[in-house]
Amino acid sequence: APPTLKICNAQPTEAETAVWNQVSAVLEEAHGILAELQSYNGAGQEIREAIQNPGDLALQEKAWNAVCPLVAKLKRFYEFSLRLENALRSLLEALTSPPYAPMQHLEREQALAKQFAEILHFTLSFDELKMTNPAIQNDFSYYRRTISRNRLNNQQLEAENEVNNEMANRMSLFYAEATPMLKTLSNATTKFVSENKTLPIEDTTDCLSTMACVCRVMLETPEYRCRFTNTDTMLFCMRVMVGVIILYDHVHPVGAFAKTSKIDMKGCIKVLKEQPSNSVEGLLNALRYTTRHLNDDSTSKQIRALLQ
């Protein structure tokens, strides 16, 4: 049987401490980032008024002053994604290092496995909020249009800005993604796998499929389920399961839906659909729309039907 992750209080062992501290410093900020994103209201009204009254300089200025602090926030989120990427990399290194098998790693390094799960949980939460907030891209494109329009007559503007052109280009690639954090993590995982020639790709994907299995078993086993005293813990398992499935599907050459996949997709989808949570539909959508291989010929009709 797979180990159950010690969801509540996995304490790092001595061997885990260095990586755990590094990742912990990043995760400490995650909650604040989510809270900031949750309360992100955007400058839609100010932008609309400025666009409708192009001759009114006061309204242009008002929109600009409303947008600038928001773009500073977007920059913080983006920079956080880079730190998260580094944290993920350290965890992948630790959780795939020889000579242990993925299951042994998850058993020996429960505190790191928990952090891995927390990163995925954050990632899906962030992307859910981003997806349902059109103000983000609206604010950012207004900002970019204003900068490029003014660059001709105001060389200073860019220098004064917190977000220079190069940063704005990188941010715009990030926010153009439907699920930017997940994309960052899957890019980073792909990179980790391809850079490290001595590490077979299976070692990384086995780590992911093992985590998916742990989450599935925790969700579908009644004895475990009753230990979930609050729905937050179930939601945590659901998000982590979906997160590792999507990562696996992006990183593994044939993906998560193929017959040879080490993830029991039917079991995962079934248990997800049985959960009494209004986040289920969003998570099913993440499987439908942010995976790579669902529409491959090798995906069984049964799995397709389950996701319809």
Q: Which residues bind ligand NAG (CB under 6 A)?
A: 93, 96-98, 173-174, 177, 180, 183-184, 187, 195-196, 198-199
Rank residues 130 and 216 by Cβ distance to ligand NAG and give the closer one: 130
Rank residues 136 and 269 by Cβ distance to ligand NAG and give the closer one: 136
Nearest distance, CB of residue 77 and ligand NAG, angstroms: 12
Residue 40 and residue 34: Cα distance in Å, rounded?
Answer: 10
Rank residues 51 and 176 by Cβ distance to ligand NAG and give the closer one: 176
Rank residues 7 and 211 by Cβ distance to ligand NAG and give the closer one: 211
Helix 135-151 vs helix 44-52: crossing angle, to nearest 10:
40
Residue 140 and residue 210: Cα distance in Å, rounded?
Answer: 39
Does residue 99 have a cis peptide bond before it, meaning omega lies within 30 degrees of 0? yes
Nearest distance, CB of residue 39 and ligand NAG, angstroms: 23
Rank residues 7 and 124 by Cβ distance to ligand NAG and give the closer one: 124
Rank residues 168 and 235 by Cβ distance to ligand NAG and give the closer one: 168
Q: Is the dihedral of CA 220, 284, 30, 202 positive or negative?
A: positive
Strands (E), 57-145: none
What CA–CA distances, in Å, run from 82 to 75, 92, 174, 178?
Answer: 11, 15, 11, 17
- 220: which 2 tokens? 């579908």
Nearest distance, CB of residue 238 and ligand NAG, angstroms: 23
Rank residues 30 and 265 by Cβ distance to ligand NAG and give the closer one: 30
Q: Please check whether residue 257 is in contact with residue 295, taking contact to mean a CB–CB distance below 8 angstroms.
A: no
Helix 135-151 vs helix 57-96: crossing angle, to nearest 10:
120
Q: Please check whether residue 208 is in contact with residue 248, taking contact to mean a CB–CB distance below 8 angstroms.
A: yes
Nearest distance, CB of residue 205 and ligand NAG, angstroms: 14
Nearest distance, CB of residue 210 and ligand NAG, angstroms: 16
Nearest distance, CB of residue 178 and ligand NAG, angstroms: 10
Rank residues 91 and 242 by Cβ distance to ligand NAG and give the closer one: 91
Nearest distance, CB of residue 99 and ligand NAG, angstroms: 10
Nearest distance, CB of residue 78 and ligand NAG, angstroms: 9
Q: How many other CB atoms are there within 10 angstroms of residue 58's CB atom?
A: 9
Long-range pairs for 228-237 at CB < 8 Å and ≥24 separation? 231/277, 233/7, 234/275, 234/277, 235/277, 235/279, 236/7, 236/117, 236/121, 237/7
Using alpha carbons, select from 252, 251, 268 the residue that is nearest to residue 303. Answer: 268
